[in-house]
Amino acid sequence: MEIEKLFDIKGKVALVTGGSRGIGEMITAGFLANGVKVYISARKAPALIEKANELSKKYNQECIPIPCDISSMEGITELSKKLAEHEEGIDFLVNNAGAAWGESYESFSEAGWDKVMDLNVKSLFFLTQKMKALLLKRTSLEDPSRVINIGSIDGLNVPALPTFSYSASKAAVHHLTRVMAAELVSENILVNAIAPGPYPSNMLGAAVNHDYSEIEKRNPRKRVGTPEDIAGLAIFLCSRAGSYTVGETITSDGGIVKTASHNLS
């Protein structure tokens, strides 16, 4: 029951997609700070390599970049092959890579629809499928492998912005998490999702000119999320403490989904 054992993830191996910035970087930092060897992937190789070097030095722990575009099956296959060249097995897969698209209802484009649905839903499913063999290598009944899918509260609420494919994709992620959890739990791979609310990121920042003050005022907790908030939740899900939690979508939003209507009344 000691906290060091309940939340111990030292010596594990993880892959975090979209791990060079935003929520992916926050989760990666939390893993590295607690002794996990982390592979990170993203499309932009120079930024990814620079971030991996920066995090490796900061936490004195291996952070290894694998530049890859997982929006296509070719990219997914390439990533799985490259990772298999480095590791016989992995313990954690964090499906964080994602895209958003905002456009009016009348002019919303097929390109915006397909880009978001392909990366946020299709790629998540097929990357997990390709990674199953690596996740099985190190798993056991006592210490199962973990998959964390990053959803969004926009998949639970009706979003304020015209991001039709994004909110639909994140609702799909939440339900796909339950379906995948049912498929994989018998093989000691536990699948859960996190639905973040507002966190500092390029995606949210672009929508508010990186001024989070209004978002903070409207949030029940009067702030946006911090790295500790999201990393702590990921560590819980990947540790002994979270090993009986299966198929859940856990919000990390300061109370927006569950209490916002009360706070506005």
166 is catalytic: yes
Instruction: Name every residue whose Cβ is closer than 8 Å to that of residue 4 and which is 6 or more positions away in sequence.
Output: none
Write the DSSP string, 161-199: S--HHHHHHHHHHHHHHHHHHHHHGGGTEEEEEEEE-S-
Residue type, 35: G
Residue count of the chain: 265
- The Cβ of residue 16 has, within 10 Å, a number of other Cβ atoms equal to 30
User: Measured between alpha carbons, how far is 68 from 44 in angstroms, rounded to an integer?
Assistant: 8
- Residue 212 tokens, joined: 């989070």
Question: φ, ψ for residue 200 (rounded to 5)?
Answer: -60, 125
In angstroms, what CA-CA distances link 55 with 50, 119, 168, 198?
9, 25, 33, 23
User: Which of the following is catalytic: 166, 199, 212, 244?
Assistant: 166
Q: Which residues face 189 on adjacent strands?
A: 145
- Residues 195 and 155 sit within 8 Å (Cβ to Cβ): yes
Instruction: Name every residue whose Cβ is closer than 8 Å to that of residue 236 and which is 6 or more positions away in sequence.
Output: 7, 242
User: Measured between alpha carbons, how far is 79 from 19 in angstroms, rounded to an integer?
Assistant: 14
User: Measured between alpha carbons, how far is 257 from 163 in angstroms, rounded to an integer?
Assistant: 18
Active site residues: 166
